[in-house]
Amino acid sequence: MTGSERREQLIAVSRALFAEKGFEGTSVEEIAARAKVSKPVVYEHFGGKEGIYAVVVDREVQRLLGMLTTELSGGGHPKVVVEKTALALLGYIEENTDGFRILVRDSPVAQATGTFSSLIGDVATQVEHLLAEQFRARRLDPSAAPMYAQMLVGLIALTGQWWLEARSPDKAEVAAHMVNLAWNGLKGLEKEPRLSSQAQSPT
């Protein structure tokens, strides 16, 4: 096995272990044993567990972000863009279950970037301009778009985490329900929303 082949083998083995046991529950000893190599081989390629974990997470982040970005930048009616984005996330979960499990697990404290929350923040930033355009067209305040982008992407992301285990109904139906809530909610936005509990009683 060449050096690059060995590196890919260790990444694949580690990806499965991190998905199964998490970062803290996985040891270099287990990675080496499952790959049928000695511990020094793992250290030689990655310097330790943190190094191989960083590579695994970075690959998953790039894969998912690439899928979502493709749909967000594809143009078309905003509702269709939301539909495609929801389907892209659910499709990623369906096809890369181990990868998604790794992304939604707690990352090491030292891992400031490459976490699921930072990924969702990146996606929300891309959604902002779509919402701002819609807000202007509907004569709503576009400065609120970043906040609504976080809400919208959070809805999709948390539903995805739930569907990771539930897997029912199928992804198309889940996406349709997500878009039903998100789009119909956006369609009926008030210009100056107020909490019902804080509304002034008539005098």
- pLDDT tens, 21-48? 999 999 999 999 999 999 999 999 999 9
Locate all alpha helices (DSSP H) within 73-115, ordered by sequence.
Answer: 78-95, 97-104
In a 10 Å sphere around its CB, with 0-12 CB exposed, 13-18 middle and 19+ buried, how is residue 139 labelled? exposed
What band does 198 get if pLDDT is binned at 50, 70 and 90?
A: confident
CATH number of 56-188: 1.10.357.10
| 12 Cβ contact list (under 8 Å, min separation 6) | none
Q: What pTM was computed for the model? A: 0.83
For the segment 75-85, what is each residue's pLDDT rounded down to a tens digit? 788 889 889 98
Give pLDDT, residue 72.
Answer: 86
Determine the Cα angle at 143 with ends 138 and 148, to 5°. 75
**Residue ranges of domains in the chain:** 56-188
> How much is the pLDDT for 138?
87
pLDDT (0 to 100) of residue 186: 86
pLDDT value for 77:
84
Report pLDDT digits (tens) over 118-156: 888 888 998 898 889 889 988 999 999 999 999 999 999
pLDDT of residue 114: 58
